[in-house]
Amino acid sequence: MSHIRLIATAKANTNIALIKYWGKRDEKLILPMNSSLSVTLDNFYTITTVEFTDTLTEDKLIWDQAPGNYEELIKISSFLDIIRKKSGINLHAKVITENHVPTAAGFASSASGYAALAAAATKALGLNLSHKELSIIARQGSGSACRSVYGGFVEWQKGSMEDGSDSYAYQILNENAWNITILSVMVASGQKKVSSRDGMKRTVETSPFYKGWLSTVNEDLEEAKKAIRNRDFVSLGEVVERTALKMHATMLGAIPPIIYLESGTLEVMNRVQELRQNGFPAYFTIDAGPNVKVLCQPENESRIKQALMELGSVQKVISCNPGEGVRYLSEHLV
Ligand code: FM0
């Protein structure tokens, strides 16, 4: 007897938010309080194969060539349920995923992870989705994943509908339209961190500064979009740095406070500002962790990288440029 085997593989890059998504208005559908803007990175990515088959009695997860952990499998299974429901095909799946993202260094893999998973699973089940529809699905795995569907500079419009049908990302500029350098700076770190999911929830619920965030994030986003359209690096850098600090300020006001910035983080922030005073345009942004991303222009990359490597707390600096959106691969990881 022959078995059913529906299989597809997709590759998605991670992205770094220039204007951050911080706070949900709906936790189940993953609907954000504010719109956000990111650049997709070329060097960090996830490749995922999904195989739906009638030979399995439950979903299976292989994560970087080892059995995936149970908590992750539960999340992935409920995400696949959304796609199974949409396709009307109720088969269990084997998910094999390879992360080329330095997760141990605190770089998030959920954006590339859920974008690749959404693409592979929908393709395997024969759903022929537009980028917009794929973005809506990826969003329900992890908010930032909805932006990784696209390459280059991307905006996630928060939308206002209760069912999330208008909360998806679109591309502002493609990856070849404007080249900037994004340096991922990994610093020595001690503490165990609060996940962004928990951190944003606590901030929305308890921080008196969260309303200050919400009242200014939209003008920051408009300013960043304008700078991107004009290829105006300095204007983009200024607003990117300012808005990242504002996001961290909201967390400092949470109860209990959330502090992602560590001594190494501050050392890098100071050096970036010093480089600027010395005539090298560079700007930092920081997510929910101690590592720093530094934006610079490709012509200054090696000089700035060197200046950062000199710092005692800097362990590694990896260069990225704008990268492409989701792709389907013909080779599978099985
Ligand atoms: O990427 O709870 O997408 O806009 O990285 O899975 O929806 O992991 F700086 C923080 C990303 C948060 C900003 O949160 O959360 C950004 C952040 P989920 P994510």
The single-letter code of the amino acid at 222 is E
Measured from the CB, is residue 18 less than 6 Å from ligand 1?
no
Structure tokens at 304: 């700035």
The highest-level CATH class for domain 181-320 is alpha beta
In ligand 1, the atom with minimum distance to the C-alpha of 111 is 3
Return the residue matching tokens 């003008």: 219
Q: What architecture is the 5-177 domain classified under in CATH?
A: 2-Layer Sandwich (3.30)
In ligand 1, the atom with minimum distance to the C-alpha of 286 is 9
Q: How far is CA 29 from the centre of its chain?
A: 17
Element (H, E) at 75: helix 70-87
Look at residue 191 and tell me whether its pLDDT is greater than 90. Answer: no
Give the model confidence (pLDDT) of 145-170 as tens digits: 999 999 999 999 999 999 999 999 99
Please state whether the predicted TM-score (pTM) of the whole model is above 0.95: yes
Mean pLDDT computed over 94-110: 80
Residues 317, 107 contacting (CB under 8 angstroms): no
Give the model confidence (pLDDT) of 322-331 as tens digits: 999 999 999 9
Q: Using DSSP, state whether 190 is helix, strand or coil.
A: coil
Q: Where are the domains of the chain?
A: 5-177, 181-320
**Average pLDDT of the chain?**
96
Which residue, by CA, sits nearest to atom 7 of ligand 1? Answer: 143
Residue 291 CA to ligand 1 centre (angstroms): 15
Vertex 99 angle, CA 291 and 130, to 5°? 105
Of 160, 189, 151, 128, nearest to 25 by C-alpha is 160
CB-CB neighbours of 151 under 10 Å: 24
Look at residue 95 and tell me whether its pLDDT is greater than 60. Answer: yes
Measured from the CB, is residue 44 less than 6 Å from ligand 1?
no
